[in-house]
Structure 1
């Protein structure tokens, strides 16, 4: 087609035929042409009013910002995006394609290519989507121009000294955030030598810049290390530990985080991103070299937002991956530990039962004593099996409660009597104390599950309390206001206290420092309490006092005897 009148008619006709969407790709002159050519502007507005969604890519410049803002105001349900260096113009609907030559201010075009061939339309739709993915929101580009930000720059740097100078300059001038990927441990060591790590410490300390580093600390074998400058692993490890330790531990820079990432054979570059608006990618030419200048090849600097954000996306993806990987490894370690513990815990009572059975055959006159031993070990075995089944129930989110109304004080009193009897049978001098002034505390809960929780807490207290020690159990009502009450049950011991290594994960699966036990009891207890809308917590005693207090709370919906005391855990319960 040619001729201004025919071309304008073609543009209007294609727009009128659109059903749902119009995709437009135009150079920096296209916004002024649309807004200043009345017939084209009119059909543009009509399409918007018909509910047509526009996706429009153009090159936004200082000169066309007023027209771009006008376009943005009109296509409120669509989107306008910016892309550098656009040459040529085309538009797409579901069924038609229209391409034009370069536009001039307020002047419609005189030469147009039109097609409604399905393959042509589909091919150019794919092209448009590719360009769309590379573009950036118009609002962001307009803001950059209006705020006087420098234009996008992509620079290939062949001089290693210049790359090093730019590298340090970017680090030292970072305002908010730095992300770095080191491809090898040797890359870290070389860059430490030129002052990169020192600069990271400085901006972290003085400007509170958040720093995240990814590097393959754990993926080297001795053969690989022999080929490197630091062939001795212990020497290399000492260097890394020294730098990282000084950065994170000794000086307590909580805003520096380093994670291990498996080294990928194709990863041959150090990637630096600062403030999510500048990037420097330095090719690793020879990792066996001692110096920065000898090791790196070409470097690429960019402040193109779309390019930088691509590297940000890669970094964030790897960062999340490392976290998930660590979680999987931690789970595997816990699972292996549990298998070892469970195997031991299953074998011990099973062997005892078999041993008592053999003795019973030979010495029937000892029946009562031997049967008692078999019962005791069978109970231990049953408890372990029930714990494993409970964990399965919890993890499948199928833990159900059979609630009933009962006197919690009465239940605890009976439970304490049973434990006193057991302690007496073992000839232990552990003192078990419980007193509640005989006040009835009625709750509506799963009775058997609450007994299970309290039993777990008492079992743990007995396990870690030496002979002659003391265990105090308390059960009191706390009143926040006339509408909110809760019952708090606490178990306080004079044992060794909770090991600092396991304290943060005390209520997780397989957490134990005991020579016996599976580390499932507190995990199960936590889930039972939380299923009742309660809370569970623990604390080691302070000010020279030995032992631990573990307590849990349950909400109350029923009026309780008014003489109950508050703050039960802070005061020792007396008999």
Structure 2
């Protein structure tokens, strides 16, 4: 017979170099010899497991019996686990006296043995016959793994004396025990034993529980139904919520002749109950992981309780064929349930919120309803959900005609959640949308409306909805304020309610935008009036002087310059207003041509530097940094093919000038740098304009390219809006950002625009 070696290496042991290896030994002579050698190597302890056939081997085969005896005489200890049955009872009674401690565990197959440095295992055991096939290893990792397996089985095994007494006296003892650190093997063993020994099996499981345990369940049931020695008329029933996720598993079980009924929102506890056994999956970690622990009991009080619960659920279960047909045809098996108990409604609210996978939408009919959510802890609970489920977006809408006082109260509540009390603020700046600090997926918005409603909505994932009647009472107790509730899992109904929510949410956002637009427009009118008044006054004043002046007009050249500058300011303002009108009505006509953007930028920079002294910016430098030379091309080729665009030259000058004007205004000293680059993968030319000035006010940064948005002392807030429209008309993009130093302090801004490149 042959032996094989794997993972061979050499490590020191008792002053010698022993090979670390794994062997597969065939034949009784080699197997028994290795077993005897294994027992001689035991120094302090040997742990061993074997099935119901092995006790006779230990007692009847001298090599093994003497080996056990020799270990004990040397002061060693032997822990042994086996399957104690009526057939091997006489051997087990002797084995109790032969080893240090013996325990019983159902379902063991083959055997393993571990000493301090070695591991042995066999899958072939014959009563009162020597071993004929053995796996041997002294690899440290294999030994450690074998020890872990033994310790797990040992914790869940029963003392031998108790099992022997039961068998001898015919006493049925009841026990309830927690099988911890359970493995797939142990779960499979328990399932197989329960199925084999029971004629009626009831399984109540969640969707995930069915997915996780289905392999054990199907294999055990298949073996039971196909084994001629097993009763083929077993009644097996399974309660589960049938969904698209477990549809194929359910159909597979139905094909085996198993009875299944559909029940919604089933308990998260997975259990199997028979006339003699109860197995409960106590805890589960990851989605596809097996149960961490199993609670086993054969106590009649537990069995009766879970059997009665199962029967009640089974009566209310639905026919699986109808559910499967609905799922396959993508139609809804819908229901509407009326709930008249306010406490049940509140529990259902929490359950629905906890079950959300991607979205929670809620409408509160008035401000008092919001206060009740806060008082009851529901807002805190939703905050917890939003933190623990980052992919779930939560939006709450309060529908009420609000005033500044109500808005201040909501702001105060949110700031308390965020850990600070708000300071007094201008009423015009009070937001109508609120967020928790650091939580982007939870928003609350006020719909400032006269719409009267006493109905609250909760829509989860657009497939479950709960409508709650809100009593119009001053009490902030949630239970007292709730009337009837209507719960439905209809996707169509839930989508309809979600559409209503979206319409109201959009209305609230539109109100916010109109309010912001109104404020910005008022600011624009003030700025525009100022912009018009100053140059007009200059024009009128100086023109009056010139009209009434006699003599040499050269003495009044400064008046003429002022008139010229004021006229240009008016012309620019008129141009901007005309540009906005053209852009918004899509009347802008582009006169495109091929030109070098790089040469254009160089010309603009040169012109600005020539006139920078007129702006009283003597400590400011504007410069263009040429693109680094591409080593893969010659210098002339690189420069010739770079930066060419097909665009309206005048409009591009207008955009660059707008950005430069802003940069110059907000940068008193330092550098404004223009850089050109290209993105060959997207065929785009990128122009960046960076400055070392005060940066962009964070308050206006999100709306920087919107009409009338400006922090300038003299700007109209139209320049960047026009620039964005021009670039987008050229199929390009434009954006802005602040630059920060190492201390997260703003040290300038950077504008970037892109244009499609061309090889011409």
Corresponding residue of 1:182: 364
Mapped to 2, the partners of 1:404 and 1:148 lie a distance apart of 57
Aligned-partner Cα distance in 1 for 2:359–2:674 = 51
CA distance in 2, matches of 1:286, 1:140: 40
Query: Post-superposition shift, 1:182?
Result: 0.6
* Alignment pair present for 1:300 and 2:486: yes
Q: Secondary structure in 1 aligned to 2:664? A: helix
Aligned to 2:587, the other structure's residue is in SS state coil
Change (3 A) 1:172 1:412: closer
Deviation at 1:195, TM superposition (A): 2.6
- Alignment correspondent of 1:448: 650
Partner of 2:611: 422
- Give the counterpart of 1:464 among 646, 660, 666: 666
Specify whether residues 262 and 488 from structure 1 end up closer, same or farther in structure 2 by C-alpha distance, changes over 3 A only: closer
Structure 1 residue 193 and structure 2 residue 375: aligned? yes
What does 1:69-218 align with in structure 2 at a 5 Å threshold?
142-143=325-326, 152-157=335-340, 159-208=341-390, 209-216=392-399
**Per the alignment, in what secondary structure is the counterpart of residue 541 of structure 1?**
strand
Native 8 Å contact 1:529 1:536 kept in 2: yes
Q: 1-side partners of 2:730 and 2:565: how far apart?
A: 31
- 1:539 maps to 737
The Cα shift of 1:187 comes to: 0.8
Post-superposition shift, 1:357?
Answer: 1.8
**CA distance 1:535–1:149, shift in 2 (3 Å):** closer
> What is the CA deviation profile of residues 280-320 of structure 1, one whole-angstrom value per residue up to 9, with x for unaligned ones?
32222233123223333333333444444442332232223
Q: Is the 8 A contact 1:181 1:214 kept in 2?
A: yes
Contact 2:435 2:442 (C-alpha < 8 Å) held by counterparts:
no
What whole-Å deviation, never above 9, does each CA across 1:140-172 have from its counterpart, x for those lacking one? 883359999986242141x43343333334334
Secondary structure at the counterpart of residue 711 of structure 2: coil
1:92-146 Cα distance to aligned partner (Å, 9 max, x none)? xxxxxxxxxxxxxxxxxxxxxxxxxxxxxxxxxxxxxxxxxxxxxx998833599
CA contact (8 A) 1:187 1:287 kept: no
Task: Compute the displacement of 1:213 (Å).
Answer: 0.9
709, 720, 735: which one pairs with 1:522?
A: 720
1:267 CA drift (Å)? 0.5
Q: How far off is 1:535 after superposition?
A: 3.2
How far off is 1:373 after superposition? 0.6
Give the alignment partner of residue 571 of structure 2, picking from 369, 376, 382. 382
Find the counterpart in structure 2 of residue 354 from structure 1. 540
Name the residue aligned to 1:504: 702
Structure 2: gaps of 5 or more residues: 1-320, 421-432, 627-635
SS at match of 1:547: strand
SS of 1:507's equivalent in the other structure is coil
| Residues 1:394 and 2:580 aligned together | no
Q: Once the two structures are superposed, what CA deviation does each residue of 1:50-99 show, in whole Å capped at 9, x if it has no partner?
A: xxxxxxxxxxxxxxxxxxxxxxxxxxxxxxxxxxxxxxxxxxxxxxxxxx
For 1:345, the equivalent position in structure 2 comes to 531
Closer, same or farther: CA 436–242 of 1 in aligned 2, 3 Å: closer
Q: Call closer, same or farther: CA 1:297–1:351 in 2, change over 3 Å.
A: same
SS of aligned partner of 1:516 = coil
Residues 477 and 485, structure 1, Cα contact 8 Å, conserved in 2: no
SS of aligned partner of 1:451: helix
Answer yes or no: is the 8 Å Cα contact 1:184–1:263 preserved in 2. no
Take 1:349 and 1:411, find their aligned partners in 2: how far apart are those partners?
31
For residues 449-482 of structure 1, the C-alpha deviation after alignment (integer angstroms, 9 at most, x for no partner) is: 222122212211211111x4333344x463727x
- Structure 1 residue 485: deviation in Å? 5.8
Contact 2:353 2:382 in 1 (8 A): yes
- Counterparts of 1:508 and 1:163, CA distance in 2: 45
Q: Which runs of 5+ in 1 are unaligned?
A: 1-137, 226-232, 560-575
Alignment of 1:239-388 (within 5 A): 239-243=413-417, 252-361=438-547, 365=553, 366-388=555-577
Tell me how far apart the structure 2 counterparts of residues 313 and 435 of structure 1 sit (CA, whole Å). 52
Distance in 2 (CA, whole Å) between partners of 1:552 and 1:257 is 32
SS of structure 1 residue aligned to 2:705: coil
Task: Give the distance between the partners of 1:539 and 1:454, measured in 2 at CA.
Answer: 16
| Residue 375 of structure 1, CA deviation | 0.2
Moved more, 426-435 or 521-530: 426-435
TM-aligned CA distance change 1:487 to 1:279, over 3 Å: closer
Alpha carbons 2:434, 2:445 under 8 Å: kept:
no
Say whether the 8 Å CA contact 1:174–1:203 is kept in structure 2.
Answer: no
How far did residue 390 of structure 1 move? 0.6
Which of these two proteins has the greater Rg computed from alpha carbons?
A: 2
The CA deviation string for residues 167-199 of structure 1, in whole angstroms up to 9 with x for no partner, is 334334444432211111111111322232232
| Counterpart residue number, 1:403 | 592
Q: Contact 1:509 / 1:520 at 8 angstroms: preserved in 2?
A: yes
Return the alpha-carbon distance in structure 2 between the equivalents of residues 271 and 219 of structure 1. 20
Judged with a 3 Å threshold, the aligned counterparts in structure 2 of structure 1 residues 356 and 296 are, in CA distance, closer, same or farther, namely same
Aligned residue-pair number: 408
> Is contact 2:695-2:748 (8 Å) kept?
yes
Using the alignment, how far apart are the partners of 1:321 and 1:200 within structure 2? 24
2:647 and 2:331 map into 1 onto residues whose CA distance is 66
Q: How does 1:557-572 map to 2 (within 5 A)?
A: 557-558=758-759
1:347/1:253 Cα in 2 relative to 1: closer, same or farther (>3 Å)? same
Over 3 Å counting, the alpha-carbon distance change for 1:243 and 1:419 in structure 2 is same
How many Å apart are 1:363 and its aligned residue? Answer: 5.2
Query: CA separation in 2, counterparts of 1:512 and 1:537?
Result: 16
Partner Cα separation in structure 1 for residue 378 and residue 678 of structure 2? 56
- TM-score, normalised to structure 2, is 0.48
TM-score, length-scaled by structure 1: 0.62
Q: CA deviation at 1:436?
A: 7.2
The 1-side partners of 2:363 and 2:726 are apart by: 44
